[in-house]
Structure 1
Amino acid sequence: MADHKTSLEPPPAYTDEPPAAQSATNAAPPPRQGVVRAPLPLNLPALNMIRGKRVILASASPRRRQLLAQSDDSKLSGTNDSHLEQVGLNELEIIPSTEPENQDKALPPFEYVLATAEQKARNVYAAQIDSPQGEPALVIAADTVVSTHMGQILEKPRSERDHIATLKMLRDQNGGWHKVYTAVVCMAPLDSLADPGYAFETHVEETAVKFDQSVTDDLIVSYVRTREGADKAGGYGIQGVGSILVEKIDGTFDNVVGLPLRATLQLIEKVIVEPDVPDEVEEAL
C-alpha cells in the first residue's frame, strides 16, 4: 500500500523488547505514527567490504540507483515504487560513461547489450583509476534493450507518432510477446600482481514480456501522452503506469526495470570476495 510520507526512520525490531544479545546499534527506536521506515541494509560480506569506499554506478538511470541504494530515491523519478527492493549501497557515485554508444545494432540483442555495458564499465573505470579521490573499489555498469521476437532492437521513441506505433507493434506482433535484455558488468581492482589488475565479471539476463492484446488504441495513446515512456527503450516503464499494458512476464521483474538484482549481487561477490586470479599469478604468490 502506497504511503506518500517522506520522513524515514529505521524499521522497528521484530519484538518490542529486543533480546540482550542484540547489538544496541541494531535496536530500533519505537515507531512514530505516520512515518515511513526504510529497511536495514543487507548484511553481506561483499557489501560490507565496499561500504565507505568508492562505488561507482556508471549509469544515469534513477531506477538503477534506486534498486542499489537504500533511500527514498523514488522522488528521483516522481513515483513511489515501494515494491522495488533496495540493496543498501547508499554512497553510490553516479558517473555515466561519456563515450558514444556505437555498437552495431545489427548484432543480436544479447551481444549488443553486453558489448555496450562492457564499454561503459571500461570507460568509467579507466577515467577514474587515477582520480584524486582514489581508485574505485567497484564499478557497476548496465545496459538494457527491448527487442522484438525477431531480434530487432527498439530505440527510444523519436516522436509521439513513433511512440504510438511502437507500442501497437509490441501489442500486435507475436501474441504480444517481446524480450528485454539487461547486461551487468562489475569491475574491481585486484590486490595481487595479476594482469590486467582488475577483476571483471559479466552477466546478461533475459525476460519475456507479454502485452495485453485487449489494450485499446485509445489506452495506448493516453499512455503515450503521459510521456512516461518517452525516454525509455521500447517506449514503456513497467514499474510505473506502463504496467497497465503488460499482461504477464516470464523472468525477473527488476530485469525489465533495468537491473537484475540477484545477478548483480552475485557479480559483486565474485569481484570483491572471490575474484578470479590467473593460475600463474597464484603460483607466484
Structure 2
Amino acid sequence: MATKFEHPVYEKISNYSFYLCSTSPRRREILEMLGFDPVIRPSQFEENLSKLDYTVEEYVVETAKGKCLAVWDQLKKENKTDNVLLLSADTVVENEGVIYEKPKTQEENYRAICRMRDSEKPVRVFSGVVVLLSDASTQRKPDKCKIKTFTEITEIVMEKSVSNDFIRKYSECGEGHQVAGGFKIQGSGALMMKGINGDYYNVVGLPYTKTFQTICDMLDTHL
C-alpha cells in the first residue's frame, strides 16, 4: 500500500480555512487529488462580463476574480476573513475567436461542436485561477490581501471523422450541458477528440501542477 504523499504545504495550509469558491464537483475532486480538503463556498457573482471588453485570458481571470471577491464579501459579513485562503476559477473553450461556455440548449451544443470539429484552427481551453490569502494583518480589506492569478491554456485536436449524427446524439444525451464547450473529456466527449496538448486537468476544470505550485507560493513553500 502506498504511503500518503508528504509535503510542507499541507502543514502550512492547516493554519487556514481553505474555501473553494465554486460548486463544481470536478474542481473539488482535483483539489482533493492534490491533497487538499476545501470547504465549498458558492459564489454569488453573476458572471456577466462582456466578452467584447476582454481578451480570453483577461475574461477568465476577471470572472474568477469576481467569484473570489464575492465570497470574500460574504465571509466579511460573517467575520470570517482572518486566516483564510480562497481559490476560484473560470474555464471557457475558445475557437476562432468565439468563446464557448456551457451550452444553454441541445441545439446550441450540437452547432458548437460541429463548428469546432470543422475548424482548421485549434480548440483551446482557457482557465483563469485566483488564489487569495488573508490573515489578521489585512484588516478585513481585500486590497491588503495577498492575491495571485494565472491562466492555463490547453489545446484540443478534434477528431474530424466524427459524424453529425454522432454529435447530435451526444448533444441529446446531456453529458456536455454542464461544462464549458459542451463536451466532457472524462466522458463520451473524449471520443470526439484526437488528442490534447497541455494539462489534461485544465480541460476537466482546474489546472493541476500550476494550482499546486501557486498554493505553495502563497504559503511560502516550494514544489
Is the TM value for this pair above 0.5?
Answer: yes
Change (3 A) 1:190 1:52: closer
**Corresponding residue for 1:179?**
124
How far off its partner does 1:165 sit?
0.8
> Which digits, 9 at most, give the CA deviation of each residue in 1:64-91, with x for residues without a partner?
000011xxxxxxxxxxxxxxxx11213x
Does residue 228 (structure 1) correspond to residue 191 (structure 2)? The answer is no
1:97-133 Cα offsets, whole Å, 9 max, x none, are: 1021121111221110011011111221232135355
Structure 1: segments with no counterpart, 5+ residues: 1-11, 14-25, 27-39, 70-85, 275-285
User: Which 5+ residue runs of structure 2 have no aligned equivalent?
Assistant: none
Kindly tell me: are residues 101 and 63 of structure 1, through their superposed partners in 2, closer, same or farther at Cα, counting changes over 3 Å?
A: same
Letter in 1 for 2:10: L
Distance 1:94 1:109, change over 3 A: same
Residue in structure 2 matched with residue 59 of structure 1 by the alignment: 22
Show the counterpart of 2:205.
258
| Whole-Å separation in 2 of the counterparts to 1:260 and 1:47 | 19
- Return the offset for 1:134: 5.9
Aligned residues of 1:210 and 1:249 also touching (Cα < 8 A): yes
1:124 corresponds, among 59, 64, 71, to 71
1:214 corresponds to 2:143 = no
Q: Secondary structure at the match of 2:10?
A: helix
Matching residue's letter, 1:180: V
User: In 1, Cα distance between the equivalents of 2:127 and 2:135?
Assistant: 26
1:198 aligns with 2:145: yes
Residue in 2 aligned with 1:105? 51
What is aligned with 1:43?
A: 6
Aligned to 2:101: 155
Q: Does the aligned pair in 2 maintain the 1:60–1:95 contact within 8 Å?
A: yes
Task: Give the Cα separation in 1 of the matches to 2:40 and 2:183.
Answer: 24
Q: 2:39 aligns to what SS in structure 1?
A: strand
CA RMSD of aligned residues (A): 2.1
1:273 aligns with 2:220: yes
What residue identity is the alignment partner of 1:184?
V
- Does 2:195 align with 1:248? yes
CA contact 2:22–2:40 (8 Å) conserved in 1: yes
State the SS of the aligned residue for 1:124. helix
Q: Does 1:96 align with 2:42?
A: yes
Q: How many residues align?
A: 218
Residue type matched to 1:174 in 2?
E
Amino acid at match of 2:106: E
> Structure 1's 171 and 235: CA in aligned 2 closer, same or farther, altered over 3 A?
same
Where does residue 170 of structure 1 map in the other structure?
116
- Give the CA deviation at 1:52: 6.5
| Alpha carbons 1:45, 1:273 under 8 Å: kept | no
Amino acid at match of 2:113: L
- Indicate if the aligned counterparts of 1:201 and 1:270 stay in contact, CA closer than 8 A: no
**3-state SS of paired residue (2:162):** coil
Identity of aligned residues (%): 32
Which residue does 1:146 correspond to in 2?
93
Q: 1:60 to 1:136 in 2, by over 3 A?
A: farther
Structure with max Cα Rg: 1
Alpha-carbon distance, 1:197 to partner: 3.1
Q: Supply the AA of the counterpart residue of 2:104.
A: R
Q: 1:173 to 1:152 in 2, by over 3 A?
A: same
Structure with greater helix percent: 2
Separation in structure 1 between the aligned mates of residue 204 and residue 125 of structure 2, nearest angstrom = 9
